[in-house]
A and B are shown apart, each in its own frame.
Chain A
């Protein structure tokens, strides 16, 4: 860090005489600093992008003569490494063009806001997105929104897979298609539309139907993350299980999103587990334990554009989180929301089964 300054989104303010709030008012980011001597407040105000850490330390040591230089140095280092500070003169990266830096400047500000890891420079997350290849399997309610968001975010290569054609009944929720696309292959339309959204990325399409287990592995070649936005064939030997096994075997994380009426959920699975089979087994065991097994079909297709969009966007956010490393739905977690019951927060964490045949090894 050459010339530290407080990130603008994290501007500090004092709470009474002995505390400093930093990081705004968003849970997961904000912090308070116990600062009875006013030391942190002074150091943060000195970090305005014009002084080196050594110069800030020198000034603090001069203002607080009772403090050792070693302690002043530790205080300044703790603040610099807290994640609320950035370098006002970061090295210029040549991995993004001037056009990309303009296109993604709000991305950069978002990442700067939520990423509390000490940065090398503030474009690191965007470069990770640019270098990534994501397969979006299924371009329906969840997948069309997820693919759009990933394209807008700047994923370097998006591979779109869907065997179906656009139907009129898709247009209530699937954002990539219009009435002029009726009857056309979704994969083709999606590629055209996503390239129109972002011509700085590579978008490819595939009309394959993944209806046998063996097809999954070939789909994942050079893939960094799979966005699984399809669920058929269903069942214990169905698509989600194939995806889970292929991803675990290839060491590829995957994200699954979906909805059940007003309930929208997303889960993240990463190599090493817990995997989807651990999740399913734990959920089934919990249902059995509570005596609330569901022997009837509950997967009815009612959906609005709103719930499809939430499903797709939560999926895209989880993909972005996996690629960039920003906080998000960690592997092994299931999260979601219920649009007709805002106080119903879906959040569950599953443990890896020690005897899981898919991820235990």
Chain B
């Protein structure tokens, strides 16, 4: 495991926002037929 020694860019900035954002979708139009009719074992 790399050691976080504070020399990398951004290490000293604890307020740096995450470079990803997970966003639950507000709305999804469902147009497809349901995938399973439940007859499989």
Contacts and interface: CB of A to CB of B under 8 A. Distances in A.
Contacts of A66: 8-10
A75 B24 contact: no
A142 B22 CA distance: 40
Interface string A40-74: 10000000000000100110011001111111001
A31 B22 contact: yes
B11 A68 contact: yes
B21 A34 contact: yes
A137 B19 CA distance: 53
Interface stretch (A22-30, A126-134, A200-208): A22-30
A293 B1 CA distance: 70
Contact of B2 (A34, A62, A75): A62
A40 B19 CA distance: 9
Interface in B1-41: 1-4, 8-11, 14, 16, 18-25, 27-28, 30, 32
Given A25-B28, A27-B28, A61-B2, A71 B18 contact: yes
A69 B8 contact: yes
Contacts of B27: 27
Given A25-B30, A68-B11, A71-B16, A33 B2 contact: no
A329 to B, nearest CB: 19
A285 interface: no
A67 B24 CA distance: 25
A32 interface: yes
A57 B1 CA distance: 8
A67 B32 CA distance: 40
Main secondary structure of the interface of A (DSSP, over half): mixed
Given A71-B19, A75-B19, A30 B25 contact: yes
Given A33-B23, A68-B9, A75-B18, A26 B2 contact: no
Nearest to A35: B20
B11 to A, nearest CB: 4
Query: Which of A37, A40, A54, A70 lies at the interface centre, i.e. has the most chain B CB atoms within 10 A of its CB?
Result: A70
A231 to B, nearest CB: 31
Contacts of A34: 20-21, 23
B3 A71 contact: no
Contacts of B4: 68-70
B16 A75 contact: no
27 contacts: A25-B32, A26-B28, A27-B25, A27-B30, A31-B23, A32-B23, A32-B25, A33-B21, A35-B20, A37-B19, A39-B19, A39-B20, A40-B22, A58-B1, A58-B2, A67-B19, A68-B4, A68-B11, A69-B1, A69-B2, A69-B11, A70-B4, A71-B10, A71-B19, A74-B18, A75-B18, A75-B19
